[in-house]
């Protein structure tokens, strides 16, 4: 199982302008690079402090200048909100700048405010996702593509990605039936299980269903995001996790809201930690507990390290400590 990092780039207005989340992200990327991680991913969000990266290609290009070995990815670019041709141009150029190190995560989105801000009806998101994904892949392959809008003309990209036929594309998914559907299409998936699942054992069941649906010969790939802290200040990390969960509810994260409505205990850091989807503690113990995800069938563990306003020095120390423990594991 590969070890990577994932940042939602969340922020908290009460901290004021003194905290530079972008500088922290660049330092986090350098730390992950030095700690031997496989990749670093960032989320795309709009119009709320729950995510301060509205333009992932800009942030990833900056990260690529500081982290020279890591693969760099977006999890996710929200396909229904954007022109797929414009996305293909931006990420094709980014893959060139990164020397073929781009990972591209795509998703249909889940925060109503973002759809309202872009004037896209939520009712159209699945249809737009499917149409935009096919156009994006075709554009990456150098095929002639045309937007399904009046007056659009066929075009062909003049800058293609370095990787062929395109950067690896991972689909973020939360609905269990969608996991099986994507498996049947042979597509890699990414899961954020604290929002929908109750245990690592349940995650393992979902992964087995995904792999059972894969076409013959398709390898499949599963990435899973988990909150991680490796260090001595577990109390501070637990308080930061609670702050993060409160922030997810405030941003109307629909899947997590539905889970909390069904079981209010899921709004607490203790419940998420008990489920196994937040792993906090001494570095060696954290590394040992992360093996449960490998046994569940996870290919890439995406550690969310910089959550809930946790102090930047604690985040970097956590990454470095876990990197050492992970490298030393049998």
Judged against a pLDDT cut of 80, whether residue 271 lies above it is answered with yes
**Would you say the C-alpha torsion 150, 154, 159, 163 has a positive or negative sign?**
positive
Q: Of 38-52, 100-114, 238-252, 309-323, which gets the smallest average pLDDT?
A: 238-252
List the structure tokens of 219. 């390898």
Mean pLDDT of 147-171: 97
More confident of the two residues 177 and 59:
59
Q: Return the closest-CA partner of residue 132 out of 171, 189, 179, 75.
A: 171
Judged against a pLDDT cut of 80, whether residue 162 lies above it is answered with yes
Judged against a pLDDT cut of 90, whether residue 321 lies above it is answered with yes
Residues 6+ apart with CB under 8 A from 286: 228, 229, 230, 279, 280, 322, 325
Convert the pLDDT of each residue in 59-81 to its tens digit: 999 999 999 999 999 999 999 99
Tell me the C-alpha distance between 321 and 325, whole Å: 6
The average confidence (pLDDT) of the chain is 95
Judged against a pLDDT cut of 80, whether residue 240 lies above it is answered with yes
Tell me the C-alpha distance between 139 and 282, whole Å: 46
What is the model's pLDDT at position 176? 87
What is the model's pLDDT at position 263? 83
Tell me the C-alpha distance between 74 and 60, whole Å: 8
List the structure tokens of 249. 């509810």
Tell me the C-alpha distance between 162 and 58, whole Å: 18
Residues in the chain: 330
What is the model's pLDDT at position 46? 97
Judged against a pLDDT cut of 90, whether residue 250 lies above it is answered with no
Judged against a pLDDT cut of 80, whether residue 324 lies above it is answered with yes
Judged against a pLDDT cut of 80, whether residue 16 lies above it is answered with no
* Angle ∠(119,21,91) on CA atoms, nearest 5: 55
Q: How many CA atoms lie within 13 A of 172 on its CB side?
A: 27
Q: Of 11-15, 173-177, 201-205, which gets the smallest average pLDDT?
A: 11-15
Q: Which domains does the chain have, with CATH numbers?
A: 2-328 (3.20.20.30)
Mean pLDDT of 183-208: 96
List the structure tokens of 45. 């969000």
What is the model's pLDDT at position 251? 79
Tell me the C-alpha distance between 260 and 67, whole Å: 37
Contact 88, 140 (CB under 8 A): yes
What is the model's pLDDT at position 283? 98
Percent helix / strand / coil, the chain, rounded to 5: 50, 15, 35
Tell me the C-alpha distance between 50 and 53, whole Å: 10
- How many CB atoms within 10 Å of residue 76? 21
Judged against a pLDDT cut of 90, whether residue 55 lies above it is answered with yes
Judged against a pLDDT cut of 90, whether residue 285 lies above it is answered with yes
List the structure tokens of 165. 């036929």
| Residue 191 phi, psi dihedral angles, 5° rounding | -125, 145
Q: Of 66-75, 139-148, 222-231, 321-330, which gets the smallest average pLDDT?
A: 321-330
What is the model's pLDDT at position 175? 87
What is the model's pLDDT at position 193? 95
Tell me the C-alpha distance between 128 and 189, whole Å: 19
What is the model's pLDDT at position 256? 85
Q: What pairing do the DSSP bridges indicate for beta strands 71-78 and 189-191?
A: unpaired
């Amino acid at each position: 199982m590969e070890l990577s990092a994932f940042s939602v780039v969340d922020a908290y207005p009460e901290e004021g302008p003194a905290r530079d989340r972008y500088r922290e992200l660049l330092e986090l990327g350098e730390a992950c690079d030095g700690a031997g991680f496989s990749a670093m991913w960032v989320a795309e969000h709009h119009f709320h402090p729950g995510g301060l990266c509205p333009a992932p290609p800009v942030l990833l290009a900056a990260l690529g200048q500081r982290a020279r070995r890591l693969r760099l990815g977006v999890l996710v670019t929200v396909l229904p909100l954007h022109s797929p041709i414009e996305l293909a141009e931006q990420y094709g150029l980014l893959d060139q700048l990164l020397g073929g190190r781009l990972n591209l995560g795509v998703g249909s989105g889940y925060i109503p405010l973002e759809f309202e801000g872009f004037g896209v009806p939520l009712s159209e998101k699945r249809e737009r996702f499917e149409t935009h994904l096919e156009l994006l892949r075709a554009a990456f392959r150098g095929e002639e593509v045309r937007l399904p809008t009046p007056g659009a003309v066929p075009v062909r990209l003049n800058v293609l990605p370095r990787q062929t036929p395109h950067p690896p594309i991972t689909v973020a998914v939360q609905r269990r039936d969608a996991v099986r559907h994507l498996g049947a299409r042979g597509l890699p998936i990414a899961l954020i299980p604290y929002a929908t699942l109750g245990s690592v054992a349940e995650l393992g069941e979902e992964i087995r269903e995904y792999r059972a649906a894969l076409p013959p010969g398709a390898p499949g790939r599963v990435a899973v995001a988990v909150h991680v802290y490796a260090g001595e200040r577990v109390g501070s990390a637990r308080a930061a996790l609670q702050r993060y969960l409160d922030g997810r509810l405030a941003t109307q994260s629909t899947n997590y809201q539905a889970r909390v409505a069904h079981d209010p205990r899921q709004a607490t850091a203790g419940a998420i930690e008990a489920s196994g989807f937040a792993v906090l503690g001494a570095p060696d113990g954290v590394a040992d507990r992360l093996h449960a995800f490998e046994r569940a069938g996870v290919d890439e563990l995406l550690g969310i390290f910089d959550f809930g306003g946790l102090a930047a020095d604690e985040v970097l120390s956590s990454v470095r400590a876990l990197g050492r423990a992970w490298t030393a594991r049998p």
